[in-house]
Amino acid sequence: MLHPKLQKLEKSLTPSTLTQIFDPLLEQKKIELWLKRDDLIHPIISGNKWRKLKYILDHVLSLNAQTIISMGGAYSNHLHALAFAGKQLNLHTIGYIRGERPKQFSSTLSDLERWGMELRFVSRSDYRILRQYKNYNSLPGIQRGEYWLPEGGATKLALKGVAEILMEIEIKYDCLCVPCGTGTTMAGLINASLTDCHIYGFSALKGGGFLLKDIEPLLIANNNNWSIQLAYHFGGFAKANTELLLFIERFFNQYGIELEQVYTGKMLYGLFDLIKKDFFKSGQKIVAVHTGGLQGKAR
C-alpha cells in the first residue's frame, strides 16, 4: 500500500484514456492508431514522469527521507515533475543542472525555482560523472535523510510504475510506440509486455544508440521484441526545425491534442513518416504513448 501522503496526491490525478486517431493516411495504409493519453493525468506531473516517480516517492517516504537530489538539463521534464511533487509532499528537492547558469532561465528552470528546488549548475564533465551513481545512497557525500535519484528517475522502482501503463490498455494491439530520453520508460514497457507485441522507441537525442546498452541492464528477461528508431531527433535533445513545429501545429488543429517538440512530437512525426513509408504491415494496430511534458512546448 502506498504511503498515505502519496495516496492523497494520487487521488488528485485523472485516469489516462485511449484516443483513436483518424487520418486519411491511416485509412489508406489500413493502420489503426491509438494514443494513450498520459498527458491528461495531471497538468504538471503528467505522463511517464508520474509513472516513474510513483514508487520512488513511496520509497523516499518509507525511509523518512527529507531531501531528494537528482539531475537533469534546463528543460528536464523529470526535474519539473520532481520539484512539483516534492512541494506537494513537503520534501526538499535539489537539482544538479547540466551546464552554466543561464542569464535567462527557461520556463522549466523558473518553475523549479518557484517550487523550491535548490538548483546547482555543474559542468558537462561533472554531470557525466554524476551519471555513474545508480543507487539511492550511492552519491558521494550524501547525508542522512537525503535520497539520490539518477537522471530521468532511471531505477528499478520506476519500472514498476511504468508497467501500469500496459495494465490500463484494454484493446489488443500489435505495436507500442514510446519516445525515449533515458530509456527507463521503454524498459518498463518491455518488461511488462507480451512477446508478440513489438515495442518501438523513438530517440529524442542525437546519437541515441547508447540507449540500447542503457536499457538492457534494466530488463528482467532477454526479450527481443523491441527496437529504437534513431532518425527522428531533429538535431538533438530539445532541438526542432520548422518541419517538426508545423507538424505539431497541424496535429493540434486536426485532433485538438497538444504535443511538444522534445519527445512526443518527434515520436508522432516519426511514426507517421514510417507509416507513409510502409514500415508497418497493413492491418496492424498501434498504440503510441503520449508521455506529457507539455511545459517544454515551443511557444
pLDDT of residue 261: 93
Q: What is the mean pLDDT of residues 217-226?
A: 87
Q: CB-based contacts of 19: which residues, under 8 Å, 6+ apart?
A: 34, 35, 37, 255, 257
Q: Work out the average pLDDT over 14-19.
A: 94
190, 165, 53, 38 alpha-carbon torsion, rounded to 10°: 120
pLDDT in tens, 258-270: 999 999 999 999 9
Confidence at 54, pLDDT banded by 50, 70, 90: very high
Over range 224-239, report the average pLDDT.
Answer: 94
Per-residue model confidence as pLDDT tens digits over 176-217? 999 999 899 999 999 999 878 999 999 999 999 999 998 998
Percent of the chain with pLDDT over 90: 87
What digits encode the pLDDT tens for the residues 130-172? 999 999 999 999 999 999 999 989 899 999 999 999 999 999 9
Let me know: does 38 contact 46? Beta carbons within 8 Å: yes
State mean pLDDT over 61-68.
98
As a whole number, mean pLDDT of residues 18-27 equals: 98
Indicate if the pLDDT at residue 299 is higher than 60. Answer: no
Distance CA 71, CA 78 (A): 9
Residue 194 confidence (pLDDT): 80
Per-residue pLDDT, 298: 55
* Mean pLDDT value of segment 61-66: 98
**Complete domains list, the chain, with CATH:** 4-44+157-296 (3.40.50.1100), 47-153 (3.40.50.1100)
- 75-113: pLDDT as tens digits: 888 999 999 999 999 999 999 999 999 999 988 899 999
> Residue 233: is its pLDDT beyond 50?
yes
d(CA 204, CA 233): 5
CA distances from 146 to 61, 67, 149, 179 (A): 11, 5, 10, 30
Q: Is the pTM of this model over 0.75?
A: yes
Residue 218 has pLDDT above 70, yes or no: yes
